[in-house]
Structure 1
């Protein structure tokens, strides 16, 4: 079984279309899974929602999906969530909120956005000197305690950082990276940034092994018209987003 893994589109329909076209050229997948945070961002939330609705993918709810669905907006909402909320209907926002926190893809594969029991806490990351880096193995193990040991693969997003971690006597964690937001800053204490280091749209493919064959994991980076996305962010008054879309970094 071949599973395509999409995560953290953040309203970037240009990057989503590029990833889907690349997947088509590679022969497609038996199943495509969306790990959430689909529309939040100063780009094309309405168009992205429509594209995903037509695809009808198995999808888990991300923290920004939950925040976009909040009603009414208040001063605690991030600007990207407000931008998306203002451009979606109440029905569309409720569709986002109704998505599950976790989703069993097969009896051996589970999908979630951040952690299996929380949509906003990092699973495989920690913050060092204002940067996201890989967390110690012991910390990752603790965060996975709630996970049924029957799962041999855990698909997650949220950090926007591609990761492949085999937990000894535990699952393989696969984060494909972000399709539509290659860098972000988070002012929540402790403030930090996440940087993929390039503007490419990221997604993944997992091929489940059978008859004694190993599972295969592919982390894929696709070029697309990131300059058009950056200009859209600038028009929405978000120059920091534009810089991240152009470079994959938040500064420098």
Structure 2
């Protein structure tokens, strides 16, 4: 089975369109999306229209939950912009997404951790940056998950790890947000280092597991312009470079 693993679109329609075109060339037996569908100053409504039409199995991310919840955030925030762009039906669609999915082949999929949609599974924060957590810490965070393959997103960083107990853990990276700055204590940044749209292809053949971490170019200048027009120079810089902040800041 060839399973395309998508995550963290964040309303970046041209990045999603590029991934779909790439998938059309590669082919996949199934597609799963790991949440954070629309939050951001880009194309939330148009992105949601694509996801609803495709009907892929999708888990709810922390930003999906925050967009769905009735918070009075201004348009200048990522969640506020997305919330105001969606109608009640679109917000309800996000709210109805499951936190976790069990897929064929012993695959467990969730956005961040199985018990927390806003906590990192594969990373720790050190010196204001995300670094890979020790294998024993990752295993402890997976208590209660017994399947041999785990899929997660949230950090926007692509990883493929095999834990000492034999379980595989895959984060495909982010389709639409190659970097971000999180001020929540402890404040930190996530940086993929390029503007590419990222996803993964997981191949299962009996007991054999193989995965390809894929980074593809797209018209990121279009997304940069959109972010700038919507008053988000921070997003514009991140989309253009894959880094959270200009050097020296």
Shorter-chain TM-score: which interval?
A: over 0.9
C-alpha distance in structure 2 between counterparts of 1:66 and 1:170, whole Å: 32
C-alpha distance in structure 2 between counterparts of 1:103 and 1:141, whole Å: 19
User: Shift of the alpha carbon at 1:90?
Assistant: 1.1
1:123 aligned partner: 121
1:201 aligned partner: 197
Q: 1:174 aligns with which of 170, 174, 183?
A: 170
Unaligned runs of 5+ in 1: none
C-alpha distance in structure 1 between counterparts of 2:106 and 2:31, whole Å: 16
Q: Which secondary structure does the structure 2 equivalent of 1:159 belong to?
A: coil
1:80-119 equivalent positions in 2, closer than 5 A: 80-119=78-117
1:19-58 equivalent positions in 2, closer than 5 A: 19-26=19-26, 28-58=27-57
Q: Which secondary structure does the structure 1 equivalent of 2:136 belong to?
A: helix
C-alpha distance in structure 2 between counterparts of 1:130 and 1:72, whole Å: 28
C-alpha distance in structure 2 between counterparts of 1:199 and 1:65, whole Å: 23
- 2:63 matched to 1:69? no
C-alpha distance in structure 1 between counterparts of 2:72 and 2:200, whole Å: 34
User: Shift of the alpha carbon at 1:146?
Assistant: 2.3
TM-score for the superposition, normalised by structure 1: 0.95
Does the 8 Å CA contact 2:135/2:164 hold for their aligned counterparts?
no
C-alpha distance in structure 2 between counterparts of 1:179 and 1:87, whole Å: 20
- 2:244 matched to 1:246? no
User: Shift of the alpha carbon at 1:71?
Assistant: 1.0
Unaligned runs of 5+ in 2: none
Residues 1:126 and 1:72: Cα distance change in structure 2 (over 3 Å): closer
2:150 aligned partner: 154
C-alpha distance in structure 2 between counterparts of 1:236 and 1:138, whole Å: 43
1:188 aligned partner: 184
Residues 1:202 and 1:126: Cα distance change in structure 2 (over 3 Å): same
Deviation string 1:130-151 (CA, Å, 9 cap, x unpaired) is 001101122111101121x2x1
Does the 8 Å CA contact 1:199/1:246 hold for their aligned counterparts?
yes
C-alpha distance in structure 1 between counterparts of 2:21 and 2:227, whole Å: 23
Does the 8 Å CA contact 1:117/1:146 hold for their aligned counterparts?
no
User: Shift of the alpha carbon at 1:86?
Assistant: 0.3
Give the superposed CA RMSD: 1.3
